[in-house]
Structure 1
Amino acid sequence: MLHRNRMSYRRFAMLMLAAVMLVAIISGCGKKEEGKVIASYTGGEITDKEFDKYAAFTALMNQQKAMYMSIPQFKEQFIKQFIVSKVLIKEVSKDNLKEVDTAAATFKKQLEDGMKSTPELKEHMKTSKLTVKDAVAFFKIDAAFEKYYTTKGEELKAKVTEEEIKTEFDKNPSDFNVVTLRHILIGTSDPSTNAQLKSDEDALKLAKEVKVKLEAGGDWNALAKEYSTDPSSKETGGLYEKQKAGVWVPEFKEAANKQEIGKVGDPVRTQFGYHVMKVESREATPYDKLVKEDKDKLSVAVATTLLGDFLTKEQDKLGIKVTLPAEPTPTASGSPSASPSASPSASPSASPSASGSSK
């Protein structure tokens, strides 16, 4: 994903190159009549031409989101989100808009430099009829909406009550268990390049072998250095010390919360590969022992839910009507819960941390 903070030109160009194939897929699914209205709302309308350009722009910025946008059962919701974004950014403060303009100027220069040195990018812009001016305009919409989203979220967070925080805690109290464990990750892919390291079958086989070595008294420090592909812990014997379970991805978190203490468990499969784990200690944290940081996280969770409800109501007020042509349903099924949220998401790392950071 192209973040809106500073980025090296080389990385920008590489992302642009990677996006070209995706854009070809999205834009090549049948030529549509230019200018056909596909959505109307109070105060305006969206044409297929505008949304196709937005999809082409999105592929340069967030390939995962762009792929979802190409799936028929998700496309309507993305059109609605685009409309809501265009409407709500009118409420963004002047100071925030100045920051958006500054970021857009940097993006414009990166895009222009990329087009000069990357023929594929230049051809993509031409084929999708996406001008630099178009791309910058879409960048401003997305960037301004992120400002709006953040500001509204902070506003709602300030109104969250103690009762609401407690209710949120009670949904998953085990997220606040303090756990010390060791793990050795047998990775299936490189988190930086997505290049395959091992097949699923080979990774599981090796994970089982590592488990046998550990159960036979093998040294965690030596084995982690030899086998683990988690850069955050391989040099410390796979140690994660006194961490809140909620920071980890679901499968790893579940094992951390349920695995028998002091025993090397069966390999645990996550998006990163297979983890051979040993829970050394686990202690529950009652609500009255939560620290300020914990309550802040819960407050953010409550505010995020409130923000989602607020945006849904704003969307309903606009009376949006989407009229997309019938498209064949893809064989791969997807669920609405799998679609990206309006807020930026973190990219995965080899660490099992749900936030992408190791500790």
Structure 2
Amino acid sequence: MLYNKRGAYRRFAFLLLAVVLLAATATACGKKKNEESSGSPTASASASATASIDPDTVLATYDGGELKQAEFAKYEAFMNVTNPQYAMYLSIPQYKEEIVKQYLLQKAFAARATDAQKKAGKDQADAFKKQLDDALKDATNGPQIKESMKTNNITEDEMVALVVTLATGGEITTAKETEIKATIKDADIKAEFDKEPADYNVDTVRHILVAFTDPATNKERADADALKRAQDVKKKLDDGGDWTALAKEYSDDTGSKENGGLYEKTQAKTWVEEFKKAANTQAIGVIGDPVKTDYGYHVIKVEAREEASYDKLSQTDKDAIVSALVSPKMETFMQEETDKLGIKVTLPAEPSPSPSASGSAAPSASSSAPASSSASSK
């Protein structure tokens, strides 16, 4: 199914800390041997690229100091070990420049933290250390983590020290977020809901996707060909064809083709605009004309629709609206604080990737949104 992608200030590195705290035990370096043999960039590949830059190279200057490669390499190594999917963004220059700024901002935040915030950061670092210690003792994951730490030239003490900085800096941001949330009233939440109340409808739909890429051949389908195939599917369904059989045969949505194309009780706002509109407006029980999205043509049947109203809105949905209202204000706060530092990034040219890693230098779609022929990006 097609899901909307959302960007928010949560992309900042410090807010990935919750992931980092669990990463050592959950991912065991984030790589299985079959992934390493498939040509995906591994932690060791990232480490070798980092090692090729002179440790004294200045990556950025800012009000109060400069950031050298020797220091930032430890942050890169830390991410290679604990959160390799995020670390892959460091292989893309424009992302790396942004991450350098984020890292310096966290240092600045940590430096001005209150005693209470420093204690909270230290407590989080202690929790991380315990999890890492436990992971290193684990017979299955421990050897991989130790090897990754060795390859990336980072010690446990260095990792814990980085968590102290990131967690303490994160306390500043948490405090600001709490401050902003306190200004948002119920009337603000309702006003936001009233902009698109149908977004909160709960719909049950069946659909068959004819994608613009044929998964059997990996070749592109012309728009007209995809539409014709979708129209043929619709006719078969109108003539009494079985959804289960036809979805298995025709649907390119791997997320639903095995269960008759069914998506049950799904909130409409999670879908891309064209699909959402169809789910919210098509007559119930009627198979609509093919609906075009960026992924292809969808033959859709709405089986049920629960109309949303503010008085029945769940607390979870209200909290999501609050987050949506907070996000742009936090973005502004983060940008203003970054600007105050006067950061000037001067990254050196990246070394050419080795032939074994060049096929997937960019971060995988799964690092931010799992992608597949099912179009289940979120």
**Residues 107 and 136, structure 1, Cα contact 8 Å, conserved in 2:** no
- 2:144 aligned with 1:118: yes
Change (3 A) 1:46 1:176: same
Q: Structure 2: how far apart are the matches of 1:58 and 1:43?
A: 25
Aligned-residue offset at 1:165: 3.4
TM-score, normalised by the number of residues in structure 2: 0.66
Aligned to 1:102: 127
**Residues 264 and 277, structure 1, Cα contact 8 Å, conserved in 2:** yes
SS of residue matched to 1:3: helix
CA RMSD of aligned residues (A): 4.8
Q: Structure 2: how far apart are the matches of 1:323 and 1:125?
A: 27
Q: Structure 2: how far apart are the matches of 1:8 and 1:316?
A: 33
SS of residue matched to 2:41: helix
- 2:35 aligned with 1:3: no
Change (3 A) 1:201 1:173: farther
Q: Structure 2: how far apart are the matches of 1:10 and 1:313?
A: 35
**Residues 15 and 60, structure 1, Cα contact 8 Å, conserved in 2:** no
SS of residue matched to 1:83: helix
Amino acid of the structure 1 residue aligned with 2:130: A
Aligned to 2:89: 68
- 2:269 aligned with 1:246: yes
Could you tell me the percent identity over the aligned residues? 39
Gaps of 5+ in 2: 1-15, 354-361
Of 283, 290, 293, the match for 1:266? 290
**Residues 252 and 270, structure 1, Cα contact 8 Å, conserved in 2:** no
Aligned-residue offset at 1:88: 1.9
Change (3 A) 1:215 1:301: same
Q: Structure 2: how far apart are the matches of 1:68 and 1:250?
A: 28
Change (3 A) 1:351 1:67: same
Aligned-residue offset at 1:259: 5.7
**Residues 62 and 342, structure 2, Cα contact 8 Å, conserved in 1:** yes
TM-score, normalised by the number of residues in structure 1: 0.68
Change (3 A) 1:5 1:68: closer
Of 205, 209, 215, the match for 2:238? 215
Aligned to 1:39: 60
- 2:160 aligned with 1:136: yes
Q: Structure 2: how far apart are the matches of 1:5 and 1:64?
A: 15
Aligned-residue offset at 1:78: 1.0
Aligned to 1:307: 330
Aligned-residue offset at 1:49: 1.8
SS of residue matched to 2:73: helix
> What count of residue pairs does the alignment treat as equivalent?
335
Aligned-residue offset at 1:79: 0.6
Aligned to 2:359: none
Aligned to 1:15: 31
Moved more, 212-221 or 79-88: 212-221
Of 289, 312, 316, the match for 2:339? 316
Aligned-residue offset at 1:181: 1.6
SS of residue matched to 2:159: helix
**Residues 215 and 264, structure 1, Cα contact 8 Å, conserved in 2:** no
Bigger RCO of structures 1 and 2 (CA < 8 A, at least 6 apart): 2
Of 35, 50, 54, the match for 2:71? 50
Change (3 A) 1:187 1:158: farther
**Residues 85 and 363, structure 2, Cα contact 8 Å, conserved in 1:** no
